[in-house]
Structure 1
């Protein structure tokens, strides 16, 4: 475990994801399309245990993301995070937040211009939901939807985003601009895997290795093209310096294969003729 931030681990007989990894994003509307974006993900989980029985009394998760961009890219630097929290509580029982590392109110924002609709938010929230379901009996704190969070264009998308995870809302208006999710347990949350259709989790080391390989390959191809261009320029200079000699030489090289074939054919005819004559 030389680089623990990039290595997966084990927890409760299950494999855990690395602390830092890469997401490769493809166009969700074009299966098998070229990659459109890369995100660097950092996963932070914190647990506070009871000194008496070593049980978990508080926990939190934060998935920070940042878009990987070429130097001098025209795209703006985009980054943010999704988070969740757990508290064992006291008289009211344990609670889960899907939007905050504490049990206070939180919010979900995805700041990735140009990447709307590529299921990145679904991926991040699914990680929070999957983490939260380890406390099946915990009560999920209500998620509040506000009118200012969405316009007519993306309101339905916002509502479907939460509803796909099992949240059911009491909407305050007929147009479903505002609402509060109904009480539910973490066990009732639904994991979503539609993101797998266009998002791939990658080991950072493998990702960097492929980048270096492509760089070396491109460098080799560039070198070969450079040599080919140099040979072509040299040939052009020879043609310009002695055009008649260059043209005659090209004609000669073009007909050499034909001359060779004729010579072989004549040789075979001569062998046959000499054989017949010797009889």
Structure 2
């Protein structure tokens, strides 16, 4: 990474990439639901066109562990941008023409992941002049159903974003009211069920865990082999004992037979004398 690129690395996350560990709300010692690699990149794709102050922010996420890990790759990204010419910031896209946000993490809704990512974007947006306009966000039909509508609306409202709803009763569709970045409210404390881990620490811990599993597997294999030898030796000992028992029975039977024959012979001799 060049020195020129380093200046674009944001300071709102502990590092350009972290691992976000997700546990159930209210159960900090519960099973890990998901481990997401969250990577952040900020750049100016229009610098060569004479627009040095424009910015694009990308927050990409990928589920790499936890009980929700599956063969289907769960990944996505949150995007934002700042257009210096329009003096407008978008919280939902790399362009001002896209006005919707989508968090695709089936089964992980309601655990604060979206709030964590959006909070990073809101903090990023507040670095621009206070009177910078916030691009309109639209709520479209089908984005949320039932209780998800209320949760979606609260998601935006916690950041100070208010909406004019097409139908105040259903509150399903509408658009955000005009506002500037100084009106955005970052969430001061993230959910206690979320834990940030340094990538290096995460990899080290996983390697140590893998080594521990490997050692346990090796010990188990050695133990199985020891039990197999013990069983083989015990079987051989029982077979020897069985053969010795048979041999003693045969010898005893032979002696009894010989004694019986001798007795018969003696009786026979006495009878004819």
Instruction: Decide: shared fold, TM above 0.5.
Output: yes
**1:137 positional shift:** 2.3
**1:148 positional shift:** 2.2
Structure 1-normalised TM-score?
A: 0.73
| 2:114 equivalent to 1:121 | yes
Unmatched tracts of structure 1, length 5 or more: 247-279
Residues in 1 aligned to 2:164 and 2:96: alpha-carbon distance in whole angstroms: 21
Of 210, 232, 252, the match for 1:237:
232
**1:28 positional shift:** 2.5
Q: Which residue of 1 aligns with 2:200?
A: 205
**1:189 positional shift:** 0.9
Q: 3-state DSSP class of the match of 1:35?
A: coil
Q: Which residue of 1 aligns with 2:136?
A: 142
Q: 3-state DSSP class of the match of 1:170?
A: strand
Q: How many residues align?
A: 234
CA contact (8 A) 1:50 1:57 kept: no
Structure 2-normalised TM-score?
A: 0.74
CA contact (8 A) 1:165 1:192 kept: yes
Residue deviations 1:58-111 (CA, integer Å, cap 9, x gap): 1111111222259xx744112211111112236xxx211111112223321111
Residues in 2 aligned to 1:13 and 1:74: alpha-carbon distance in whole angstroms: 31
Q: Which residue of 2 aligns with 1:216?
A: 211
Please report the RMSD computed on the Cα atoms of aligned residues, expressed in angstroms.
3.2
| 2:57 equivalent to 1:64 | no
Unmatched tracts of structure 2, length 5 or more: 242-273
Residue deviations 1:199-238 (CA, integer Å, cap 9, x gap): 2222222211111111111111122222222222322333
Q: Name the stretch that deviates more: 162-171 or 34-43.
A: 34-43
Residues in 2 aligned to 1:125 and 1:87: alpha-carbon distance in whole angstroms: 19
Q: Which residue of 1 aligns with 2:123?
A: 130
